[in-house]
Amino acid sequence: MSLRAAILLCCLEPSGALGIELDLPGDAVRTAVRTSEAASELIAAGPWQDGSVPSIQAEGPLQRRAWRIETSSRTTLQILAPLRDQLAKAGYDTVFTCKDRTCGGFDFRYSLTVLPEPNMHVDLGDFRYLAARRDSDQGPEFVTLLVSRSSSTGFVQITQIGATVTPVTPVNASTKTDSSATNQSAGQIGKGLLSDGFVVLSDLEFETGSARLGAGSFKTLSDLAQWLQANPDARVTLVGHTDSEGSLAGNLALSKKRAASVRTRLVNDLGVSAAQVAAEGVGFLSPRASNLTDEGRQENRRVEAILTSTR
């Protein structure tokens, strides 16, 4: 029997009672956490149709977490069903639930806010979504579940937002950090640029369905800015990469736009000289892994910083 991994969602009752626990399999590994003390979130409440997804506006403290489940046997339904049942027992009503094609496939997936690869992976042909709501004296509380899988690994994203949500550290849970979640210092960024000629900015997150860079603080981007400011003669080119799904022209355009968004953040928000940074995109023409597997496609979707000059 596998050990349990529990997430304390901490959707507190008005009386201040303890929050509920959602139990995940013991081989679940947390890969990413995003929190905000005050946020707005559109909760998908219906399938993609007529160019949009019916949604509910939610506001309040927000917590978004991703988990990876090392298993080859559980289906997306087998992963989601126990979580759904736990929410129901805690007094949450299902607002909407669907499966890949019935959700609206590509268009529905890219209407959602999803933590970036490789922390959260969504297979467009095999994912499930659920939104649930519970009302309290302080206002509505929402939990959304997004479950998908690759050929051998399950992925779960749990988002909670509402009047009484207080993000806390998981209890009785695996606290291992995914080794693919890069936590480079500015010195390590510089070392990688000087020794290898490039670094992968692996923690970047783009808004769904667009090339706009997310509003969060990205460690690798801050570190790159610090290194460039400390080395004013250095020049880098940001290069966007995609997997091989879709046309070459479309992927070239998307990859360049995403690289340009990263450049804008470095120059406008982080104080890097515009002369130090260029932006290009190569689409799927420079893969790091095979595009024939989910894992390979995940690795291929990235933005790299390439050192072009130090003088």
- The tokens of 163 are what? 């009047």
Instruction: Report the pLDDT value the prediction gives residue 209, as an integer from 0 to 100.
Output: 53
Of residues 2 and 123, the one with the higher pLDDT is: 123
pLDDT of 290 above 80: yes
8 A C-beta contact, residue 27 and residue 71: yes
Asked if residue 181 belongs to a domain, the reply is: no
Instruction: Report the pLDDT value the prediction gives residue 183, as an integer from 0 to 100.
Output: 37
Asked if residue 168 belongs to a domain, the reply is: no
Domain that holds residue 202: 186-309
**CB-based contacts of 91: which residues, under 8 Å, 6+ apart?**
134
The pLDDT of 157-178, averaged and rounded, is: 53
Give the number of other Cβ atoms within 10 Å of residue 224's Cβ: 27
- Mean pLDDT is lowest, of 192-196, 229-233, 256-260, for 192-196
Specify whether 157 is located in the same domain as 260.
no
156-167 confidence digits (pLDDT tens) = 999 999 865 433
Residue with the two structure tokens 């905000």: 36
- Mean pLDDT is lowest, of 89-98, 173-182, 267-276, for 173-182
Last residue of a domain, one of 162, 178, 201: 162
Helix (H, G, I), strand (E, B) or coil at 295: helix
Residue with the two structure tokens 């992927």: 251
pLDDT of 12 above 80: no
d(C-alpha 166, C-alpha 145), whole Å? 18
DSSP-derived letter for residue 11 is: B
pLDDT of 228 above 50: yes
Share of the chain above pLDDT 70, in %: 84
The DSSP-derived string for 187-232 is HHHHHHHHHHSEEE-TT--B-TTSSPBPSS--HHHHHHHHHHHH-T
pLDDT of 18 above 50: no
Instruction: Report the pLDDT value the prediction gives residue 154, as an integer from 0 to 100.
Output: 93
Instruction: Report the pLDDT value the prediction gives residue 177, as an integer from 0 to 100.
Output: 38
Instruction: Report the pLDDT value the prediction gives residue 91, as an integer from 0 to 100.
Output: 92
The pLDDT of 250-272, averaged and rounded, is: 91
Give the number of other Cβ atoms within 10 Å of residue 273's Cβ: 13
Asked if residue 77 belongs to a domain, the reply is: yes
Of residues 139 and 209, the one with the higher pLDDT is: 139
Average confidence score pLDDT of the chain? 82
DSSP-derived letter for residue 120 is: S
Under the banding of pLDDT at 50, 70 and 90, the label for residue 20 is low
pTM beyond cutoff 0.75: no
Asked if residue 195 belongs to a domain, the reply is: yes
8 A C-beta contact, residue 180 and residue 295: no
d(C-alpha 64, C-alpha 44), whole Å? 15
d(C-alpha 140, C-alpha 128), whole Å? 23
- Mean pLDDT is lowest, of 2-16, 90-104, 120-134, for 2-16
Specify whether 45 is located in the same domain as 158.
yes
Specify whether 212 is located in the same domain as 247.
yes
Give the chain's domain count. 2
Instruction: Report the pLDDT value the prediction gives residue 207, as an integer from 0 to 100.
Output: 62
Last residue of a domain, one of 110, 130, 162: 162
Specify whether 128 is located in the same domain as 212.
no
CATH code of the domain in which 233 resides? 3.30.1330.60
